Structure 1
Amino acid sequence: MAADVRPEGLATHEDIVAIVNGTHRNPFAILGMQQAGAGFVARCFVPHAEAVTAYTLAGKKAGELARRADAGFFEGRLSIRKRQPLRYHASNAGGDWWLADPYSFGPVLGPMDDYYIAEGSHLRLFDKLGAHLINHEGVNGTHFAVWAPNAKRVSVVGDFNEWDGRRHPMRFRQDTGIWEIFLPDVGADRAYKYEVIGAGGIRLPLKADPFAFRSELRPATASVTAAALAHEWGDAVHRDFWKSADARRQPVAIYEVHAGSWQRHDDGSFLAWDELAERLIPYVIDMGFTHIEFLPISEYPYDPSWGYQTTGLYAPTARFGDPEGFARFVDGAHRAGIGVILDWVPAHFPVDEHGLIRFDGTALYEHADSRKGFHPDWNTAIYNFGRREVVSFLVNNALYWAEKYHVDGLRVDAVASMLYLDYSRKAGEWLPNEKGGRENLEAVAFLQKMNKELYGHHPGVMTIAEESTSWPKVSQPVHEGGLGFGFKWNMGFMHDTLAYFAREPVHRKHHHDELTFGLMYAFSENFVLPLSHDEVVHGKGSLIAKMAGDDWQKFATLRAYYAFMWGYPGKKLLFMGQEFAQRREWSEDRTLDWNMLDHAPHRGVRDVVRDLNTLYRSRPALHARDCEPEGFSWLIVDDRQNSVFAWLRMAPAANSIAVICNFTPVPREDYRVPLPHTGRWQEIINTDAADYGGSGEGNGGFVEACEENGKAVATMLLPPLATIMLEFVA
């Protein structure tokens, strides 16, 4: 590179050409206030200007600058003798304007940032990278910082500089590969991207900020500057409770929601966060759920991806308003005692040009080899979990949602696809690990680190793995060799029970094991029982449509299924619309069919779910030992001929509850059920009750268990296609 300054203090022709063309590798050595002998010169690149005068921030004139190139390069000696930020007064035939000089300001990041970032141990990257509105050296503006170690040049472009990458090339920090610049006078609500000249010298498509805290509304893809969240939180009671609670022993009943289609305005437009809060939070309270789980709400470009193809992990999507709106939603839910869980997607990322793909012209966030860096199922890239900067990016993101938005948990999507190198790949399409195996050891280490850091810094937060294989110890602590998740989705429960209830009742006796087998492993993990969005899309139909039989039987079976599930050990999750038996398959482009509640059978299903949640939350026997075998005992396990099942749920210092299911349309009169105690057992729910739309058969509200041959036995009526629960009272 040519010398930065000639002896007389003038920039070289080569430097001027490089600045004007946007190819200079070190613009901070040329532009701004530079030493020239015993004094200083100022240099700036101001396209369209015909004259420029330098001033101090205090308004003192510091010198006239001469134009060295028609394209807008100016320089001149200064009368001031102390290095300081400058402002310029520029003019042309059309008028005049003021601008501050970014290149007269010092760096914002410091050596300790470099050290921890390079080490991969920085746990507050979201306070350092991205766009932050700050006061720097007495001037308000925005500090931009982005990781692109192999780029030849990175510039901030936006509506504040005509999207011209020559105007604001950034300072390169060699030790970390981070580029940074402070742009004075750039405030909130300004669209921006990064213009990157890649490792090969090719200008890449403009890139959104990986750490953007706000984004434009699709189809626009720029990042947007935003002030730090100023929300005053009022959720201390909620958060303090969960910090001291053992989530395994608390009732957790999750209402899974796609924010864009739960409800909409009459014209089909989305509800904003405040409108969702006004409608959704009271509804969830009324229905008795403990948590709302949102399908991904971080920024994503394509509506039919439901948010799982995210391009902005740090930005709540603009579809529902600004970030403060989401903060208000979470706070409002917490004040009402409702937790908020987010679906989180570290398993893959889309290949949209403005996203992370080949961010600096190289495989930066992803693997260069497609056998590790490309996902065949979704046509997406895969994070390089072996790169400490990528792991740091993702771990920091998990911490970010917990700290900045107070979320109560992360449900981690597609964990199985992360754990196996041969996931959805044929022989020859994947690379074994260093030991020759199929396990993705780098992904394992990442998940363990994420869970350790999240639980270590935010003990009230839970993590939930969607993991569909038999990978051991998913929900056991890292120090015991586990992945460190709090819970794991029980995919086996979901598959087996749906298969069972899709069968005609006459055939169920041949598939009795589909309901009993799950108890062989029910306590091997801390399970969540999921009836999720995945089961009601892509031609699978709604849950009510999956049930066998005529319409009456479908509704009866679904009510019985829900009570079976709420009585089964494990936390609960139900996707929106299934609580009132929506008939149509879910679609992201329309609201739920709320008109179904005009019909009694649908209201009956809703009322069953509401009552089950009330029982589940109020009866420790149904939740306090969800994850421990001491909370479960079979009463009837082998009556396949009648398709009857019965078991006991228990908890210390709590009345036991018997769950009894008859999954045929035939009432079972004088049916004998062994119980642990003689005495009165109150019927606390009967899904065949007339109020729910059932036939109204039952036991008059209670049964009496009598001693027979030294054992307690109750003789009762088992209603058709129904589940009843009996609670020991005396």
Structure 2
Amino acid sequence: MSGTIDRGTIQQLTSGHYADPFSILGIHKTTDGYAIRTFAPNATQVSVLDKDTQKTLLTLTQTDQTGFFSGTLSPSETPYRYQLMIDWGDAQQIIEDPYRFGPLLQALDAWLLAEGTHLRPYERLGAHLTSMDNVNGVTFAVWAPNATRVSVVGDFNFWDGRRHPMRFRRESGIWELFIPHIHEGQLYKYEIIDCNNITRLKADPYAFAAEMRPDTASRISQLPARVTMTQQRRQANDFTAPMSVYEVHLGSWRRHPHDNSWLSYRELADQLVPYAKYMGFTHIELLPINEHPFDGSWGYQPVGMYAPTRRFGTLEDFRYLIETAHQAGINILLDWVPAHFPDDDHGLAQFDGTAQFEYSDPREGYHQDWNTLIYNYSRHEVRNYLAGNALYWIERFGIDGLRVDAVASMVYRDYSRADGEWIPNQYGGNENLEAIEFIRYTNKTIGIECPGAITVAEESTDFAGVTLPPEAGGLGFHYKWNLGWMHDTLDYMKLDPVYRQYHHNLMTFGMYYAHTENFVLPLSHDEVVHGKRSLLGRMPGDTWQQFANLRAYYGFMWAHPGKKLLFMGGEFAQGREWNHDSSLDWHLLDPIHGGWHNGVQNLVRDLNHCYQQQSPLYQLDYAENGFEWLVVDDHQNSVFAFIRRDQSGNEVIVISNFTPVLRENYRIGINLPGHYKEILNTDSEYYHGSNAGNLGGVDSEAIPSHHRAYSLSLVLPPLSTLYLQREAK
């Protein structure tokens, strides 16, 4: 093969349009000897050095001031270990030639990536600090099968797409390149000439760090080390464990008062974690922290799926927050969004000029509700990208579980669409079969690779088997948000107590299906925005009644079967709707506000601690023998009474009175005689209530009631919930 390159090819290369740079650049054996070629725009001279001896072997010749330099060594010389000495006019630089290094992606990795079964694609794709042939640098790899040329650009090459075009691996659609000398912290993107000959600048889909908006470059970062999940953290996620989740938006939990700026990850570690511990929460759930361009999306429109947002600090700072929580005995859940992504130019949309990550037909690939794009779950590489991301957060950051957003929008093709606006599956149905398979695959993979970690579905329909294992035909989630319970009970609580007797079933209906899934009872961020008002704002009546209603509701919720979730601010009854641009109203806890909010905060803390101390309140959440109604049909008085029971038969009796009427001598039938201690009363003066109650406890009487031989005569405070525990003799 001749060492001569025709001028047309040289022009393509130097203009940045040549798709196969390794066929020209680097070292090549020819009939004339060893040809060495490089592209160094603005260089005045390029010489080839023997790397071991630093001897000058050859001075390359430039073609027509294009920056293309070439020369040929005799066949007797084999300088595979060479360096280039570049004269820039005012300085000289000795560099390694990126084009002397061989292919990067191994055959097995390429096969698994194409097949969609590579468990950890982030270990191969993206930017990785590494050493090749004792040369430090960074390997880059990106999937863009329909691009005509891809280059790495960054602050190390003047963002010039002509300088570092990548090798195309046709068998996998992946472009790759090792660039020597560059280091951690430097910025980069991929400059893609797509299939339509349009040049696009794209952030790395697999970047571990990124710039903060409005800047959009990726940042070279070390792959975090793996985190081992401890037995204590596994047990905290168990079905039989108490789980009380504090849902938090990091940007608005608390801010610096002097300038309204965000707290950093490290400041949050020092303030949020001790507060959650003090309040008795077992878990903190973070709204999405993936890098995202728009603050108003709250993180639910992510672009950098592998990058913790720079808003609050570095990747290492985020790990510090998680480690601090674990040291305090608190598990961390992360909101995860595989349902959709925004169409920002630097993101995944039309990545190589085609609908590479998204469905091409807008009837499948566009979310009308959120103006976002939908992942094409039928593509193996897309499934790999998302499932690998789930493992990444758990394995590399120690995340204890993922709450998966908008599952219903994934599993239904007609989600929020009118007739004619969606495409049926191959069988004519409305299920998104490939999305369902992706969910099952991801949940099964997490179960195998990360035992003890959990996934929680936000699924807003009655899709069957959300928390059944995939092998049993389910989706494989561990838990599901009980949105039906949330809506029913909030609809009940917002009613004037006079009318609650006509809607009694809103509070009881949840028990008809309570054991069909493993439920979490959520009072989430979605319930305190967009004109819905705060939880306190939904409660009827004057100030006293509003706070009493909320306290009684919380008492009912913490005793009801299902794990608990409360959005930040709810624990002290914030009065206004949540605003992501400002801090929670911590000033409401100042004495000047009369103690109302402190009372709710005290109650939530005591509810959490009582909940964890009383195994009947959590141990049999998902077993029918863990719950028994005592009073279910007292519509007129809006009273509910039930038993919670643990595996040993220990019981806690729960009574709620949802009217502002003090009820004396209210009799309920019970199973076992004895003295019943009042272990919690939401009307206590400590919670800023009226302090009515049963003077610490009550003895049973041999008076039949509610088809039981024994009963209790109780004082039911207005708008209250009581917990009673039978004391051992």
TM-score normalised by length of structure 1: 0.97
Aligned AA (1:437): G
Aligned partner of 1:208 in structure 2 is: 203
State the 1:711 CA deviation. Answer: 1.1
- CA distance in 1 between counterparts of 2:660 and 2:247 reads 31
**Aligned match for 1:22, one of 9, 16, 20:** 16
Per the alignment, residue 54 of structure 1 pairs with 48
1:510-521 aligned within 5 A: 510-521=502-513
Structure-to-structure mapping, 1:347-362, within 5 angstroms? 347-362=339-354
- Shift in Å, 1:119: 1.3
Question: In the TM superposition, what whole-angstrom CA distance separates every residue of 1:643-666 from its partner, at most 9, and x where no partner exists?
Answer: 000000001125200010000000
Q: Displacement, 1:540?
A: 1.2
1:634 to 2:629 alignment: yes
Q: Is 2:237–2:454's contact at 8 Å kept on the other side of the alignment?
A: no
Which residue pairs with 1:147 in the alignment? Answer: 143
Alignment of 1:259-274 (within 5 A): 259-266=250-257, 267-274=259-266
Q: 2:486 aligned with 1:494, yes or no? A: yes
**How far did 1:244 drift?**
5.7
CA distance in 1, matches of 2:499, 2:50: 87
| Separation in structure 2 between the aligned mates of residue 191 and residue 61 of structure 1, nearest angstrom | 33
Do the aligned partners of 1:620 and 1:654 also contact (CA within 8 Å) in 2?
no
SS in 2 for 1:194: strand
In structure 1, what is the Cα distance between the partners aligned to 2:650 and 2:73?
85
Asked whether the equivalents of residues 149 and 192 of structure 2 are also in contact (C-alpha less than 8 Å), the reply is: yes
Letter in 1 for 2:692: E
Partner of 2:686: 691
Q: Quick check: 1:123 aligned with 2:109?
A: no
The answer as to whether partners of 2:233 and 2:331 remain within 8 angstroms in 1 is: no
Query: How many angstroms apart in 2 are the aligned matches of 1:620 and 1:636?
Result: 22
- 1: CA distance between counterparts of 2:68 and 2:505? 80
Q: TM-score, normalised by structure 2?
A: 0.97
**Structure 2 match to 1:181:** 177
Quote the residue 1:682 is aligned against. 677
One-letter amino acid of the counterpart of residue 326, structure 2: H
Shift of 1:83: 5.2
- Measured after TM superposition, the shift of residue 54 of structure 1 is 1.4
**Per-residue CA shift, 1:106-141, capped at 9, x if unaligned?**
122111111111111111101000000000121000
Distance 2:320 2:605 in 1: 26
The aligned residue for residue 248 of structure 1 is: 239
Query: 2: distance between equivalents of 1:510 and 1:45?
Result: 81
Q: What is the CA-CA distance between 1:201 and the residue it aligns to?
A: 1.8
Say if 2:106 is the partner of 1:114: no
Q: Name the CA distance, whole Å, in 1 between partners of 2:224 and 2:510.
A: 45
- Residue 327 (structure 1) aligned to one of 293, 302, 319: 319
Alignment-derived partner of residue 160 in structure 1: 156
Give the whole-Å Cα distance in 2 for the aligned partners of 1:69 and 1:305.
52
Partner of 1:341: helix, strand, or coil? strand
> Does the 8 Å CA contact 2:113/2:380 hold for their aligned counterparts?
no
Match of 1:69 among 61, 64, 78: 64
Moved segments of 4+, more than 6 Å: none
Instruction: Quote the offset at 1:14 in angstroms.
Output: 2.1
Equivalent residues of 1:84, 1:105 under 8 A apart: no
SS of residue matched to 1:452: helix
- Give the distance between the partners of 2:713 and 2:99, measured in 1 at CA: 87
1:493-543 superposed Cα distances (whole Å, 9 cap, x missing partner): 110111111000111001101101111011110000000000001111111
1:315 alignment partner in structure 2: 307
Q: Displacement of 1:630 after TM fit?
A: 1.4
Asked if residue 563 in structure 1 is aligned to residue 555 in structure 2, the reply is yes
Q: Which residue of 1 aligns with 2:132?
A: 136
Report the alpha carbon displacement of residue 84 of structure 1 after superposing the two structures with TM. Answer: 2.5
- In structure 2, what residue type is equivalent to 1:585? E
C-alpha change, 1:70 and 1:128, in structure 2 (3 Å) is same
Residue of structure 1 aligned with 2:695, choices 680, 700, 711: 700
Give, in whole Å, the separation in 2 of the partners of 1:543 and 1:118.
48
Task: Please give the alpha-carbon distance, in whole angstroms, between the structure 1 residues aligned to 2:638 and 2:368.
Answer: 42
- Cα 1:521–1:612 change in 2 (3 A) is same
Return the letter of the residue paired with 1:499.
Answer: D
Measure how far apart 1:245 and its partner are: 6.7
Q: How does 1:388-537 map to 2 (within 5 A)?
A: 388-537=380-529
1:78 Cα deviation (Å)?
3.3
Larger deviation: 645-654 or 525-534?
645-654
8 A contact 2:150–2:191 mirrored in 1: yes
Change in Cα spacing, 1:508 to 1:245, as seen in structure 2 (3 Å) is closer
**Deviation per residue, 1:44-63 (Å, 9 max, x gap):** 00011010111233333231
1:217 maps onto 2:212 in alignment: yes
| Separation in 1, partners of 2:430, 2:346 | 32
Q: Does 1:301 align with 2:299?
A: no
Query: Whole-Å Cα distance in 2 between the matches of residues 230 and 393 of structure 1?
Result: 19
The 1:278–1:245 alpha-carbon spacing in structure 2 relative to 1, beyond 3 Å, is closer
Native 8 Å contact 2:189 2:202 kept in 1:
yes
For 1:546, the equivalent position in structure 2 comes to 538
Give the letter for the 1:126 counterpart. Y
Letter of the 2:117 partner, please give it.
Answer: S
Q: Within 2, Cα distance between the matches of 1:392 and 1:145?
A: 15
Structure 2 regions of 5+ residues with no counterpart?
A: none
Give the aligned partner of residue 651 of structure 2: 656
Structure 1 gaps, min length 5: none
Aligned residues: 719
Separation (CA, whole Å) in 2 of partners of 1:63 and 1:246: 65
Q: 1:481 to 1:334 in 2, by over 3 A?
A: same
Percent of residue pairs identical: 51
| Equivalent pair of 1:655/1:729 in contact (CA under 8 Å) | no
Aligned to 1:277: 269
State the AA in 1 paired with 2:645: M
User: CA offset at residue 38 of structure 1?
Assistant: 6.2
Match for residue 378 of structure 2? 386
Is the CA contact (8 Å cut-off) linking 2:548 and 2:719 kept in structure 1? Answer: yes
In terms of mean alpha carbon deviation, does 31-40 or 439-448 score higher? 31-40
Alignment partners' CA distance in 2, 1:360 and 1:239: 42
CA distance in 1, matches of 2:233, 2:544: 41
How far off is 1:210 after superposition?
0.4
The DSSP-based 3-state class of the residue aligned with 1:456 is: helix
Partner residue, 1:33: 27
1:46 is aligned with what amino acid? Answer: A
1:249 is paired with a residue of what secondary structure? coil
Give the distance between the partners of 1:675 and 1:91, measured in 2 at CA.
93
**Shift in Å at residue 229 of structure 1?**
2.5
- Judge which range, 466-475 or 13-22, deviates more: 13-22
Supply the AA of the counterpart residue of 2:64.
Answer: A
Q: Does 1:88 align with 2:84?
A: yes
Aligned partners of 2:641 and 2:285: how far apart in 1?
31
Q: Mark the CA change 1:630 to 1:392 in structure 2 (over 3 Å): closer, same or farther.
A: same
The one-letter code sitting in structure 2 at the alignment partner of 1:707 is: A
Match of 2:724 among 714, 720, 726: 726
Deviation at residue 670 of structure 1 after TM alignment: 0.2
Cα distance in 2 between the residues matched to 1:424 and 1:90: 60
Q: Does 1:101 align with 2:97?
A: yes
* Kept in 1: contact 2:552–2:719 (CA 8 A): yes
